[in-house]
């Protein structure tokens, strides 16, 4: 992937309104996000010749989005995918452009994640769940129907082996909630979280309290990818893709027998090789945060904190705005909003652009950002971005 270094760029990002009950369909949200991203890039909808999305059967199709933007593109593509899909589709976009099949690609995620189909479960037929997940018959009859429980099974052992405590999870939560207090569009804007309050909060499912679970929201996000050459004609400051990597590792997406490795462990060396950097070069981060512990595990995987010292790293305040690695600076999925990872991608693009310059939200002098996706311990994708 080093051959594509800095040849492609993200030139537009945009979002719909974020709410608990949008009152509209995911298609409306997707169109709002797409129009915002197109305006951000200073493009016309007809400049987009590929539309791609991922969903869990809760979205609208790229065919519909193209249709109602009045565009008849070359490529419409939808994948069923989890939290690493933004990065994987951006890699697909690069491939389409590199091979001449498209020039400019719009990628979106649209969901009524709170008022419609909730990722956290609820309302589904248990027989359907047993069939939908590989090995579902071996988890659903035991009451393990929520990602919080599946990830918790991984977290308990990893924390036990690495000396991680409830308070370390709390540092992830309080750091991200602190970011949300500077972001008026964050769900938990105006709702700060102290460590004292965090430590008093009961487990929903150990080791996670409600603060360790990501929130659920109705929202759409969109991203536009094009070549560095075309990016010069865009209104926005292009954010270049230095490198990308992806990997499937652990078997059985919902039944983990081994907590010693996660896909992110394999992605990291490939990513740094592709980007031509080391973890020390990274100034700002968007780390997939469906659960607080997932952030700790990825900090370790990507070498952003030394293995065995991840707890100390977050306790020292390093995820905060003035820390060594300001992370999920809009509040992340724990406190800003949840679009299955894509809102974290929008934020890293804005930080690397210095879009917040002159406000209290900008990470000073940040040049290089990392963005990680985690569909589970089994699938990861990540990218490194720079101006």
Partner 1 sequence: MSEETKVKYEKPIPLKTLDNTPYWDAADRHELALQKCNTCNAYNHPPGPSCASCGSVDVIWENQGSVIQGKVYSYVVSYRPFLPGFQNDIPLVIAVVELDHLPEVKIIGNILNGNAENVTIGSAVNMVWEDVTEDRAVPQWVLA
Near partner 1 by CB under 8 A, which window of 86-94, 255-263, 340-348, 349-357? 255-263
| Whether 369 contacts 285, CB under 8 Å | yes
What is the rounded CA–CA span in Å between residue 226 and residue 249? Answer: 30
Piece in contact with partner 1 (CB under 8 A), picked from 13-21, 23-31, 38-46, 196-204: 196-204
Part of the chain binding partner 1 (CB under 8 A), chosen from 9-17, 250-258, 277-285, 327-335: 250-258
Residues 205-224 within binding reach of partner 1 (CB under 8 A): 205-207
DSSP string spanning 248-279?
E-SSSTT--S--S--HHHHHHHHHHHHHT--G
56, with CB counted inside 10 A (0-12, 13-18, 19+), is middle
Q: According to the binding rule CB under 8 A, does residue 204 interact with partner 1? A: yes
Asked if residues 22 and 29 have their Cβ atoms less than 8 Å apart, the reply is yes
Residue 288: active-site member: yes
Interface with partner 1, residue 357, by CB under 8 A: no
Which of 54, 108, 288, 302 is catalytic? The answer is 288
Angle at 151 between CA 148 and CA 153, to 5 degrees: 105
Q: Can you tell me which residue has the tokens 């939200």?
A: 361
Identified binder of partner 1 from the candidate list 2, 101, 131, 165, rule CB under 8 A: 131
Judged by CB, which is closer to partner 1: 87, or 300?
Answer: 300
Tell me the CA distances in angstroms from 160 to 92, 308, 316, 317, one per residue in order.
38, 11, 20, 22
Q: Per CB under 8 A, does 142 bind partner 1?
A: yes
CB of 198 to partner 1, least distance (A): 16
Q: Which lies closer to partner 1 via its Cβ, residue 214 or residue 321?
A: 214
- 338 catalytic? Reply is yes
- Rounded to the nearest whole angstrom, what is the least distance from the CB of residue 130 to partner 1 in the complex? 4
Q: Please name the residue that has the structure tokens 């979280």.
A: 193
Contact criterion met (CB below 8 Å) for 170 and 198 = yes
What residues are annotated to the active site? Answer: 288, 338
What is the contact surface with partner 1 in residues (CB under 8 A)? 121, 126-127, 129-131, 134-146, 148-149, 152-154, 156-157, 160, 202-207, 251-252, 255-257, 259
């Amino acid at each position: 992937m080093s051959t594509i270094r800095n040849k492609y760029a993200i030139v537009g990002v945009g979002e719909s309104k974020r709410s608990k009950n949008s009152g509209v369909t995911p298609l409306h949200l997707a169109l709002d996000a797409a129009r915002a991203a197109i305006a951000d890039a200073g493009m016309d909808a007809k400049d987009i010749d590929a539309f791609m999305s991922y969903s869990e059967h809760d979205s609208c199709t790229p065919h519909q989005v193209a249709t109602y933007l009045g565009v008849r593109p070359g490529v419409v593509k939808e994948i069923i995918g989890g939290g690493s899909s933004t990065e994987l589709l951006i890699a697909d976009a690069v491939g389409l452009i590199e091979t001449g099949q498209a020039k400019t690609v719009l990628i979106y995620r649209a969901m009524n994640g709170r008022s419609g189909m909730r990722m956290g479960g609820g309302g589904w037929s248990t027989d359907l769940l047993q069939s939908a997940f590989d090995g579902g018959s071996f988890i659903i009859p035991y009451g393990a129907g929520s990602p919080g429980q599946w990830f918790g099974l991984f977290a308990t052992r990893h924390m036990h082996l690495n000396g991680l405590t409830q308070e370390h999870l709390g540092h992830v939560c309080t750091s991200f909630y602190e970011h949300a207090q500077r972001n008026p569009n964050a769900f938990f804007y105006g709702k700060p979280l102290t460590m004292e309050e965090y430590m008093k909060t009961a487990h929903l499912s150990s080791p996670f309290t409600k603060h360790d679970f990501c929130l659920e929201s109705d929202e759409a996000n969109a991203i536009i990818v094009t070549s560095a050459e075309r990016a010069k004609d865009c209104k926005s400051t292009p954010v270049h893709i230095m490198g990308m990597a992806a990997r499937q590792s652990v078997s059985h997406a919902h039944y983990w027998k081994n907590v010693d490795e996660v896909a992110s462990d394999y992605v990291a060396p490939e990513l740094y090789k592709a980007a031509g950097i080391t973890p020390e070069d990274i100034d700002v981060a968007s780390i997939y945060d469906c659960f607080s512990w997932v952030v700790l595990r990825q900090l370790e995987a990507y070498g952003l904190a030394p293995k065995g010292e991840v707890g100390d790293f977050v306790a020292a305040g390093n995820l905060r705005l003035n820390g060594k690695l300001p992370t999920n600076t809009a509040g992340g999925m724990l406190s800003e909003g949840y679009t299955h990872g894509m809102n974290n991608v929008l934020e890293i693009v804005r930080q690397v652009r210095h879009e917040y310059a002159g406000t209290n939200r900008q990470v000073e002098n940040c040049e290089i950002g990392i963005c990680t996706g985690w569909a589970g311990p089994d699938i990861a994708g990540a990218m490194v971005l720079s101006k």
